[in-house]
Amino acid sequence: MEYFANEIYYGNPDVTAQSIMQRYTFCVTPQTDLFTVACLFTRQTCQLLPVVKKKHDFVGLVTRRRVLRALNEFEKKIYKEKAEGKSLRDFHEIVNMRFIIK
């Protein structure tokens, strides 16, 4: 078993990153709003999305977890404003209609 494990680890397998990678059919830009990104995550099975500039320059990654945390913080902020008696924003400003799941 040790021989087999060493051979797999130290050998040069035919498996490459390209052969196991997931090709993204979509990505987001740095200006994409939070609700649009959340909508993409609800409709796709991916755990992260690449963030690219106009000429496909890679900027970074946004994860499902970070989006959920940002949505949670946004919700807390809205409830805090409501508790302080501040007027709530327009519903369309708070929730992008693309985010509503039918």
**∠ Cα 20 24 28 (to 5°):** 145
Instruction: Give the mean pLDDT of the chain.
Output: 79
What CA–CA distances, in Å, run from 87 to 35, 71, 96? Answer: 21, 20, 19
- Read off the pTM: 0.65
Where in the chain are the domains?
Answer: 2-99
Average pLDDT over residues 72-96: 73
| CATH number for region 2-99 | 3.90.1280.20
Average pLDDT over residues 29-37: 92
What CA–CA distances, in Å, run from 46 to 16, 64, 102? Answer: 20, 8, 20
Which of the pair, 73 or 24, is modelled with greater confidence?
A: 73
Helix (H, G, I), strand (E, B) or coil at 2: helix
